[in-house]
Structure 1
Amino acid sequence: MLDTRRHDFSSLSVRDLLEAREAYHVHLAHLSQVYATAIGKYLIRKGDENSSDPRHRTDPAELGPRTLDNCDVRDWSWPCVLVFVRHWFTPKEIQANPALATELVPSFLYLPDGRVVPTCVVQVDPDVRPETSPATPDFKSDLVGGGFPIRSSAQGRTHVGSIGCLVTDGESVFALTNRHVAGSPGQVIYAGFKNQARRLGVSDPRQLGKVPFEEAYPGWTAHRSVSNLDAGLIRLDDVAGWTAQVYGIGEIGDVVDLNVDTFRLDLIDCPLVAFGAVSGMMKGRILGLFYRYKSVGGTDYVTDLVIAPRDGETALNNYPGDSGAIWFEDEASAPINANGARKLRPVALEWGGQVLLAPGARTATQLALGICLSTICRTLDVEVIPDWNVGHTEYWGEWGHVKIGSYATSLIEPELSLAASMEANADVIGVDDAVLKTLPPHKNGTFSPLADVADLVWRFGRPSDESNHFADMDKPGKDGRTLLELCADPANVDPGVWNAYYDGIGENKKRGALPFRVWQIAEAMIGYAENNRALEFVCAAGIVAHYVGDACQPLHISQYHHGRDPTDKTHSKVHSIYETTMVAKHGAALLEMISNAGAADVPPIEPGGKPSGHAIAVAVVALMQRTVDRLPPLTIVDAFNDHMGAGQTEELWNELKDKTAACMQDGAKTLARIWEAAWRAGGSPDFGSVAFAEDDLAALYSRKSFLPSYTLDQLTTGADHHIVPIDGAIANGQVAFRPRHGTT
């Protein structure tokens, strides 16, 4: 630890640190072990017995290498130049080879006018594992905003990234992302919706790349440096289906204005949060400013912010495909919107990342590289749009799932002890009607009702789970028969039969697997019941409510999810208008209607024997059949097409409300029978009436090993007709880490 009694570093500014690094550029550049530099605050080793007191000093020889894994910023950390090195020379190494002394990073940088700037040396090992292709989720909602995944193609390669936010030049509206994601001007940009790709717009000619540092930040000097501003605009085809909200974040506040007059070292260690299209929620902190991440031909490449994990226990969760995401100030003092949610201020646009290793660390440290959003807006001459089509919950979509889940707890046969257990947990499975009518936005990092875990939590951490939310039951196969017709024979509710069906129609990527996801979870519930594991049983029961809710939504189980012609943009939004806009507008009335909808009672599953997972999957297919019989998907599509324009939502509600309520009631009744069947198959244990804590349930559903997700082609049936993954199947669609310098 440095002896701070010799110098007072607290008054050093951003300008001082930049000028010191510039003055010593040649010296640092000629040190072979120097990997990168940044400006920031001194990192204090966690294991130093004197680390809580800046007045004491521990001999560095006793501490070993300083790494990103074993140190952090303290309240009293002083300004410094961070120097990342590939090797940490020990006193013994230098004593054995005195020539190594020429490779040492100086402890202080002295400027001609008397200013003294300390250096903080950190050992890193750049991870050079090979790149892997990202797996991005498709979104159910047709309402597009920040955090949404986008795709473009060039030279036979698909580029994947995230939408940052909406911006405008006063005339047109654009989506902001990275230049390397948007591609060359005129490049068509797509996004995935269920089982199709939909065009969003084209890449605009206005783009930013690498510019001289002094142009990006007039008044500061860095003669050999360029700033990587990597920003591009997508000119939108139709703004009607867009929102200024950022998925998972909600409404956004004013842009944090960072420039040569406002940059301060107080930014160091500032908590940030972002929502990436691949990773979902990401939480980090600012580690350093103006990170020099590469030098080529005498030119240094600089990015404004380097973002690290908040602590050693929580990974940054940053994957390829998150490029283009916006990082926000994660402040409890942020302004509150009309729904009681915080309006976080946007800080930076992510353009890439790096993965660094530390000696002795269990896992690599991920870093995200960001560009100040204020600099991008100034240079592109655009403004962030904060208020277009807002007011949705942070996770816009189908709150009907939580209604079905909570309602089903009251439909279990009252003489069963299971009824008391499930009713005790009704408010964690779903949401009480009184609360649901005025449901506020889901706040970041808080508990998700179990019936919405599949959307709010797993959709972004488990890409392969997307196929479990749907199945096009009315699409003819190679022999002309639909899946509903095939499954009139219960023996055909089998992954082998379904995979053969998809092979026949040439569908390789979007193989709906909804009944088999319920089958898989039901078998897990049977095992939990057999072992009297009430917490796991209740958690799985609440989560399976989501998929059963999908099975009673006509457009989730139909090839007409986006209308008769999904390429017709005007008519392709039927799903979001019916399931999201109409239901959200009339939600309070729908809640009252569901319990009185008059759907026929659903009989117990295999009442005379021990129910199987297969029998439960057959019951789900039967629910799907009743759903399309009651409310044919084309009835919804044609009603949507017949009432285009003003009043469309009201006309849909008037025509479809009764049958919509009946479908939801049928789903809840079926769900109750599924819970009963799994419980009976597991030996009918008495779980009591314990109401489980949200923290315990959240810890369970956050585990990657809990109810792992697979695609249909990864499933088969094993011994005793149990559903199992094939050998070598990778759960949850996870991909390996890879180093990134702005590539996707």
Structure 2
Amino acid sequence: MGTGRQARTLRELMAIRAIHGKMFRRLGLGTALGFRTRDRQVTDRPAIIVFVARKLHAQWVLDGQMLPSTVQGPGDLWCDVDVVEFSYHGTSSAAPKEQVYSELVECLRGDDQSIGPGSQVASLEVYGTMGAVVRSRTGEHQIGFLTNRHVAVDLDFPYQKMFHPLPPNLGPGVYLGTVERATSFVTDDLWYGMFATCCSETVVRADGAFVPFAASFDSSSVTATIKGVGEVGELFTINLDDPIANLVGKAAIKVGRSSGLTRGTVVAYGVEYHDDKGVCFFTDLLVVGDGGQFDSEGDSGSMILLCDGDKPRPVGMIWGGTSNRGRLKLRQGHEPENWTSGVDLGRLLDLLQLDIISNDLALKGIRPFPSL
């Protein structure tokens, strides 16, 4: 046990992690904010989770390589330290792009008269998933959709046009619109409103792009409801000053064009890792699937919905998963598990100056869409 007051909020855990950042970088592969696991059970004790290549008994760990069980922070704060094994697999082989076939997935890929969150969208050579239907807070207040920057923007082409379900060079499809604004990385002080690490080169993965619907597109085919889920609730805003239990440990779902409807659990927030050039990277949400993968290739852009109340609430947007780096061994005696990375949706919407449209009644009130 530490001495003083136990950290309970995301901000407090971030502050403690920043102070001990050099130690965590020396002894681990990365960190995240979550709960400690004991005897294969997740506890209610907030912790800094440290990822290591191999978790060993203390008997075989050399002096100077042992992580402490608790760490002290600013003032009288303290928190637990947990160790999780990360199975790094290096450069992964290309995963098959068509992994699931179901009535829902076929509808998302173009076998339906409407298009909305979860539907397939494609640029010239890359396809992904439509995230939220949104409205711009600025300019002509256009209606459009949100997806990942890496889905919508190819830096080798000057025009970033989006289609459903396929671009004309690959098959039948309808022109949806052209990317108006996008982002890939944001500094931690701008994203979190605080310096989340002592590293001078720190960025947060904020992989998003806004595509306003073109004037030529038939707006009557757009729906704000999610196939297989229905209407969603209000945006779940992640407040760093709220208890970590408000987010971590909660059940989540997503609907994507590759794997359809899947279920999982938010196991951590504020994942931190470093590249070989000393740059510190953050990604917001870490989700583990319940009994299988939470996402597959092509699901990038899907909204992550928190099962909170009568209606699931948008909380994040998928940008990557297991195929990027490796798998997490979260439970002793079990094989490593697949995981999914997500962007904090509330912060992304604020950065891109967008508001989410969560139901068809709100969408109906603003048709026809203002567009360029």
- Shorter chain as normaliser: what TM range? 0.7 to 0.9
Secondary structure of residue in 2 paired with 1:122 = strand
> What CA deviation, in whole Å up to 9, does each residue of 1:76-99 have, x standing for no partner?
x211100011022334424xxxxx
Say which structure, 1 or 2, has more relative contact order (CA 8 Å, 6+ apart).
2
Equivalent in the alignment of 2:366: none
Equivalent in the alignment of 2:93: 130
**Is 1:183 the counterpart of 2:153 in the alignment?**
yes
Equivalent in the alignment of 2:228: 248
* Cα distance change, pair 360–130 in 1 and its aligned pair in 2 (3 A): farther
What residue identity is the alignment partner of 1:386? S
* Cα distance change, pair 263–204 in 1 and its aligned pair in 2 (3 A): farther
Secondary structure of residue in 2 paired with 1:29 = helix
Correspondence for 2:19 among 3, 23, 40: 23
Equivalent in the alignment of 1:345: 313
**RMSD of aligned alpha carbons:** 2.6
Equivalent in the alignment of 1:486: none
Q: Which ranges of structure 1 fall in alignment gaps of 5 or more residues?
A: 46-70, 95-99, 335-342, 392-744
Equivalent in the alignment of 2:34: 40
Secondary structure of residue in 1 paired with 2:265 = strand
Correspondence for 1:279 among 245, 254, 259: 259
CA contact (8 A) 1:9 1:79 kept: no
Secondary structure of residue in 1 paired with 2:179 = strand
TM superposition shift of 1:362: 6.6
Correspondence for 1:81 among 48, 61, 79: 48
More strand per residue: 2
CA distance in 1, matches of 2:294, 2:246: 24
Within a 5 Å distance, the mapping from 1:275-674 to structure 2 comes to 275-310=255-290, 314-331=291-308, 333-334=309-310, 343-354=311-322, 355-356=326-327, 358=329, 364-388=336-360
> What CA deviation, in whole Å up to 9, does each residue of 1:186-220 have, x standing for no partner?
32222238x94213323423112111111011145
Secondary structure of residue in 2 paired with 1:376 = helix
* Cα distance change, pair 90–360 in 1 and its aligned pair in 2 (3 A): closer
CA distance in 2, matches of 1:114, 1:87: 32
Equivalent in the alignment of 1:120: 82
* Cα distance change, pair 204–378 in 1 and its aligned pair in 2 (3 A): same
TM superposition shift of 1:390: 8.4
What residue identity is the alignment partner of 2:42? V
Equivalent in the alignment of 1:578: none
Equivalent in the alignment of 1:174: 144
Asked which structure has the greater CA Rg, the reply is 1
> What CA deviation, in whole Å up to 9, does each residue of 1:369-413 have, x standing for no partner?
11111101111111011233789xxxxxxxxxxxxxxxxxxxxxx
Equivalent in the alignment of 2:66: 104
**Is 1:235 the counterpart of 2:215 in the alignment?**
no
Within a 5 Å distance, the mapping from 1:64-75 to structure 2 comes to 71-74=40-43
Correspondence for 1:212 among 167, 187, 190: 187
More helix per residue: 1
CA contact (8 A) 2:32 2:50 kept: yes
Count of matched residue pairs: 336
TM superposition shift of 1:102: 2.0
What residue identity is the alignment partner of 1:80? A
CA contact (8 A) 1:214 1:221 kept: yes
TM superposition shift of 1:11: 4.8
Within a 5 Å distance, the mapping from 1:45-64 to structure 2 comes to 45=39
> What CA deviation, in whole Å up to 9, does each residue of 1:158-203 have, x standing for no partner?
322111111011521111100000114732222238x942133234
CA distance in 2, matches of 1:172, 1:276: 24
CA distance in 2, matches of 1:272, 1:360: 23
Q: Percent identity?
A: 21
CA distance in 1, matches of 2:159, 2:213: 12
TM superposition shift of 1:262: 4.2
* Cα distance change, pair 181–140 in 1 and its aligned pair in 2 (3 A): same
**Is 1:93 the counterpart of 2:56 in the alignment?**
no
CA distance in 1, matches of 2:269, 2:355: 24
TM superposition shift of 1:363: 5.1
What residue identity is the alignment partner of 1:172? Q
**Is 1:222 the counterpart of 2:197 in the alignment?**
yes
CA distance in 2, matches of 1:362, 1:18: 29
* Cα distance change, pair 207–121 in 1 and its aligned pair in 2 (3 A): same
CA contact (8 A) 2:72 2:78 kept: yes
TM-score normalized with structure 2 length: 0.82
TM superposition shift of 1:270: 0.6
CA distance in 2, matches of 1:176, 1:147: 11
CA distance in 2, matches of 1:114, 1:307: 31
CA distance in 1, matches of 2:133, 2:209: 12
Secondary structure of residue in 1 paired with 2:63 = helix
What residue identity is the alignment partner of 1:109? V
TM superposition shift of 1:293: 3.9
CA distance in 1, matches of 2:129, 2:53: 32
Q: Which ranges of structure 2 fall in alignment gaps of 5 or more residues?
A: 100-105, 364-372
CA distance in 1, matches of 2:307, 2:76: 38
TM superposition shift of 1:146: 0.5
CA distance in 2, matches of 1:261, 1:9: 15
TM superposition shift of 1:147: 0.5
What residue identity is the alignment partner of 2:10? V
Correspondence for 1:150 among 117, 121, 134: 121
* Cα distance change, pair 266–357 in 1 and its aligned pair in 2 (3 A): closer
CA contact (8 A) 1:87 1:123 kept: yes
What residue identity is the alignment partner of 1:295? D
CA distance in 2, matches of 1:9, 1:113: 9
> What CA deviation, in whole Å up to 9, does each residue of 1:57-88 have, x standing for no partner?
xxxxxxxxxxxxxx3423xx211100011022
* Cα distance change, pair 186–174 in 1 and its aligned pair in 2 (3 A): farther
* Cα distance change, pair 9–271 in 1 and its aligned pair in 2 (3 A): farther
TM superposition shift of 1:247: 1.9
> What CA deviation, in whole Å up to 9, does each residue of 1:342-367 have, x standing for no partner?
x3211111111124154986754111
CA contact (8 A) 1:273 1:281 kept: yes
CA contact (8 A) 1:207 1:233 kept: yes
